[in-house]
């Protein structure tokens, strides 16, 4: 972390050099000494320091400056670094102004010029001020800072992207003093949020995911244009393929559209995964798998969406959304599934503003002592209910069926029954939502009687259905009626291979209707929708990749 800053401001070059020299001589090993020749120049320097997330310990400003007096500068500087200690340098004739400044800018001290010898007239004062500042310094930010509105969907998307990619950040509301200071330092307004500021001080207004990934230090550009294996999708199946592919010597790249981990990565705790008797969070499992893949040499591309797949002789071409391409001998499709949109009047207007798809773990601390509603009866919904029960006053789990036994693991049902804050509402559907700038009320309906009732809440989390993101493969691969990718023996109709199949053999077990392209995990038709099976299929796909390559 950079040393705290001491800033001196004086329009007289000789005085400016002298004060900076004396300060640097005694404090230069612990503090970074900056000097400015005017108030506006000094304010620009402070804004840059603020954006970089550094600390300012002390401000020393001459009173008589033409563009901006020292008092005016210190008053403006308080809005940027309110905890910095403030000293006014004055001539004897300006002592009245200095005394007045004690009330105007909460002045800590004023020094008469000249201050020689500094050992007697300067250093004792500065020593005391720095010691006082060190007890309650400004909080330095070494991580990314995000400034936004509480109920802003774009602000939520930025926070969710960073959280799911395991990038530490600090969240600041735009109407909080620190958030407002960052907006001002970046020359932005509340209308511009979200504002993202890196630890190096680079500010970006409303960045898209590719820009955000680059700011966060994630890799967005492939290192090569040709690979042995391209894995599309960073959930458990994709990470499994990346780990096994790279560990077995294949030039492997994993391409993820949003964040590694998939739906499993959002789980607060997975308790039935082999080898973790005390459970493991989806984020922890994802982080370990990512590091394992990188250790073996896999390349991970973030915020890149693949929109096209085609054959080019023995290669498979993959086209990104920006028109660029990469090629590979083989491809593993592990794009998983997404939650189905809950089609009820009013809900679409509040997506990211009270209505969330998936766990949205970043929102849990904001739900303290409030009622949270969760729609869904599978394991992901149950895990979310357990997680939110640690914060919310009450968690309401809404299901259409009579109970959870048909869709949820027994261990999780037992866990829900032991938590007093969780209530399961059978035969219940959400049929509407209303509010002003965010969700404020839901309309619930009893699916047996049709009777509706309204409940007040600002929190709805949806875990329904499983829709594969495979529209971009329409006409390229064989899919079933719901869009899941058909593989292996299921491709054979009456003993005949799929149309366009160019090889003399039948498709391998996880192979799609295009030779050398495999599917693993939830996106594959008839797959078991569990983390362990997805990882297993990802590993199995790599063994079939080897078999395919050896036969070429």
Q: Are residues 304 and 362 in the same domain?
A: no
Q: Are residues 121 and 269 in the same domain?
A: no
CATH number for the domain harbouring residue 210:
3.40.30.10
Sign of the four-CA dihedral 272, 274, 277, 281: negative
Q: Which helix (H) or strand (E) holds 284?
A: helix 282-295
Alpha-carbon distance 348 to 393, whole Å?
26
Strand order across the beta sheet in which 452-456 lies: 428-435, 439-446, 452-456
Asked if the peptide bond before residue 196 counts as cis, ω within 30 degrees of 0, the response is: no
Asked if the peptide bond before residue 427 counts as cis, ω within 30 degrees of 0, the response is: no
Q: What is the pLDDT of residue 71?
A: 85
Q: Is residue 277 part of a domain?
A: yes
> Residue 28 contacts by C-beta under 8 Å, 6 or more apart in sequence?
none
End position of a domain, from candidates 163, 195, 215? 215
Q: Is residue 71 part of a domain?
A: yes
* Helix/strand/coil (H/E/C) assignment for every residue in 414-472: HHHHCCCCEEEECCEEEEEEEECCCEEEEEEEECCCCCEEEEECCCEEECCCCEECCHH
Q: Are residues 530 and 474 in the same domain?
A: yes
Q: Are residues 483 and 534 in the same domain?
A: yes
Helix axes 95-104, 70-78, angle to 10 degrees: 10
| The two three-digit tokens of residue 224, written as one number | 């090569």
Q: What is the pLDDT of residue 256?
A: 96
End position of a domain, from candidates 447, 462, 477? 462
Q: Are residues 455 and 545 in the same domain?
A: no
CA 86 to chain centre: 37
Alpha-carbon distance 479 to 458, whole Å?
39
Q: Are residues 331 and 267 in the same domain?
A: yes
Beta strands at 203-205 and 428-435: parallel, antiparallel or unpaired = unpaired
Alpha-carbon distance 240 to 244, whole Å?
6
Q: What is the CA radius of gyration of the chain?
A: 30
Q: Is residue 221 part of a domain?
A: no
Beta bridge partners of 34: 7
How do the pLDDT tens digits run along the chain, 552 residues long? 579 999 999 999 988 899 999 999 999 999 999 999 999 999 999 998 888 888 999 999 998 888 888 888 988 888 788 889 999 888 765 666 666 666 666 778 888 877 888 898 899 999 989 988 887 655 455 578 999 998 999 999 999 898 888 788 889 999 998 899 899 999 999 889 999 998 778 899 999 998 999 888 889 999 999 999 999 999 999 999 999 999 999 999 999 998 888 888 778 778 888 887 777 788 878 888 998 999 999 999 999 999 999 999 899 999 999 999 999 999 999 999 998 999 999 999 999 999 999 888 788 888 999 999 999 999 999 999 999 998 999 999 999 999 999 999 999 999 999 999 999 999 999 999 999 999 999 999 999 999 999 999 999 999 998 899 899 999 999 999 999 999 999 999 888 999 989 899 999 999 999 999 999 999 999 998 889 999 999 999 999 999 999 998
Q: Is residue 311 part of a domain?
A: yes
| The two three-digit tokens of residue 450, written as one number | 């049709």
Q: What is the pLDDT of residue 138?
A: 52
Q: Which domain holds residue 204?
A: 144-215
Q: Are residues 20 and 115 in the same domain?
A: yes
Q: Is residue 456 part of a domain?
A: yes
| The two three-digit tokens of residue 129, written as one number | 């001020």
Q: What is the pLDDT of residue 139?
A: 46
Q: Are residues 504 and 532 in the same domain?
A: yes
Q: Convert 74-95 to b/e letters by CB count within 10 Å (16 or more is b).
A: bbbbbebbeebbbbbbbeeebe
CA 261 to chain centre: 13
CATH number for the domain harbouring residue 446:
3.50.50.60
Distances (CA, A) of 292 to 161, 239, 243, 247: 21, 9, 6, 9
Domain count, the chain: 4
Q: Which helix (H) or strand (E) holds 538?
A: helix 531-551
Q: What is the pLDDT of residue 325?
A: 97
Q: Are residues 173 and 317 in the same domain?
A: no
Q: Are residues 415 and 440 in the same domain?
A: yes
Distances (CA, A) of 421 to 175, 323, 391: 33, 50, 10
DSSP letter (8 states) at residue 546? H
Alpha-carbon distance 407 to 383, whole Å?
13
Q: What is the pLDDT of residue 543?
A: 98
- CA triple 376-336-219, angle to 5 deg: 120
CATH number for the domain harbouring residue 13:
3.40.50.2300
Sign of the four-CA dihedral 390, 395, 400, 403: positive
DSSP letter (8 states) at residue 191? G
Alpha-carbon distance 167 to 213, whole Å?
10
Q: Do 319 and 306 contact (CB within 8 A), yes or no?
A: yes
Q: What is the pLDDT of residue 93?
A: 57
Alpha-carbon distance 47 to 183, whole Å?
10
Total Cβ atoms within 10 A of residue 182: 25
Alpha-carbon distance 495 to 513, whole Å?
14
Alpha-carbon distance 308 to 255, whole Å?
13
Q: Is residue 220 part of a domain?
A: no
Alpha-carbon distance 3 to 488, whole Å?
61
Strand order across the beta sheet in which 195-197 lies: 169-173, 144-148, 195-197, 203-205
Q: Are residues 23 and 78 in the same domain?
A: yes
Alpha-carbon distance 329 to 229, whole Å?
6
Q: Is residue 490 part of a domain?
A: yes
Alpha-carbon distance 119 to 161, whole Å?
53
Q: What is the pLDDT of residue 216?
A: 80
Q: Are residues 370 and 448 in the same domain?
A: yes
Q: Do 286 and 260 contact (CB within 8 A), yes or no?
A: yes
CA 411 to chain centre: 31
End position of a domain, from candidates 187, 215, 243? 215
- CA triple 9-11-12, angle to 5 deg: 115
């Amino acid at each position: 972390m950079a040393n705290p800053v001491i800033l001196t401001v004086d329009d007289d070059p000789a005085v400016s050099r002298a004060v900076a020299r004396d300060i640097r001589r005694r404090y230069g090993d612990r503090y970074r000494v900056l000097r400015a020749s005017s108030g506006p120049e000094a304010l620009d320097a402070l804004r840059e320091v603020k954006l970089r997330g550094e600390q300012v310990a002390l401000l020393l400003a001459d009173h008589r400056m033409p563009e901006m007096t020292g008092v005016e500068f210190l008053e403006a500087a308080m809005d940027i670094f309110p905890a910095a200690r403030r000293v006014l340098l004055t001539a004897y004739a300006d002592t009245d102004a200095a005394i007045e400044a004690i009330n105007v800018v909460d002045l800590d001290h004023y020094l008469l010029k000249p201050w020689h010898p500094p050992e007697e007239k300067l250093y004792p004062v500065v020593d005391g001020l720095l010691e006082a500042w060190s007890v309650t310094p400004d909080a330095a930010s070494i991580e990314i800072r995000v400034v936004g509105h509480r109920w802003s969907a774009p602000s939520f998307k930025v926070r969710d992207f960073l959280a799911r990619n395991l990038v530490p950040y600090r969240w600041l509301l735009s109407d909080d003093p620190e958030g407002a200071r960052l907006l001002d330092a970046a020359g932005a307004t509340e209308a511009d949020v979200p504002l993202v500021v890196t630890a190096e001080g680079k500010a970006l207004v409303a960045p898209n995911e590719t820009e955000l990934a680059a700011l966060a230090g994630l890799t967005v550009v492939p290192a090569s244009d040709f690979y042995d294996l391209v894995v599309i999708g960073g959930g458990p199946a994709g990470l499994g393929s990346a780990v096994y592919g790279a560990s077995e010597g294949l030039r492997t790249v994993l391409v993820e559209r949003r964040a590694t981990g998939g739906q499993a990565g959002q789980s607060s705790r997975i308790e039935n995964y082999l080898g973790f008797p005390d459970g493991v969070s989806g984020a922890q499992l994802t982080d370990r798998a990512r590091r394992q893949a990188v250790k073996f040499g896999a390349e991970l591309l973030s915020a890149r969406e693949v929109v096209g797949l085609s054959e080019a002789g023995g290669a498979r071409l993959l086209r990104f959304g920006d028109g660029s391409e990469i090629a590979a001998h083989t491809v593993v499709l592990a794009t998983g599934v997404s939650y189905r949109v809950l089609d009820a009047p009013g809900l679409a207007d509040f997506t990211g503003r009270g209505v969330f798809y998936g766990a949205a773990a970043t929102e849990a601390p904001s739900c303290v002592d409030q009622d949270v509603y969760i729609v869904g009866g599978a394991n992901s919904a149950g895990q979310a209910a357990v997680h939110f029960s640690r914060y919310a006053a009450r968690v309401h789990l809404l299901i259409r069926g009579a109970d959870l036994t048909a869709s949820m693991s027994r261990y999780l049902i037992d866990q829900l029954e032991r938590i007093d804050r969780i209530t399961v509402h059978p035969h219940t559907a959400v049929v509407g939502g209303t509010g002003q700038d965010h969700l404020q009320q839901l309309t619930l309906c009893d699916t047996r009687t049709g009777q509706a009732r309204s409940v007040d809440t600002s929190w709805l989390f949806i875990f329904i259905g499983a829709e594969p993101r495979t529209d971009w493969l329409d006409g390229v691969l064989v899919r079933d009626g719901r869009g899941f990718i058909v593989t292996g023996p299921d491709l054979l109709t009456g003993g005949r291979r799929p149309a366009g199949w160019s090889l003399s053999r039948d498709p391998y077990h996880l192979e799609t209707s295009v030779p050398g392209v495999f599917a693993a995990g939830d996106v594959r038709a008839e797959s078991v929708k569990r983390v362990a099976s997805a990882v297993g299929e990802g590993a199995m796909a790599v063994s079939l990749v080897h078999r395919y390559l050896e036969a070429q």
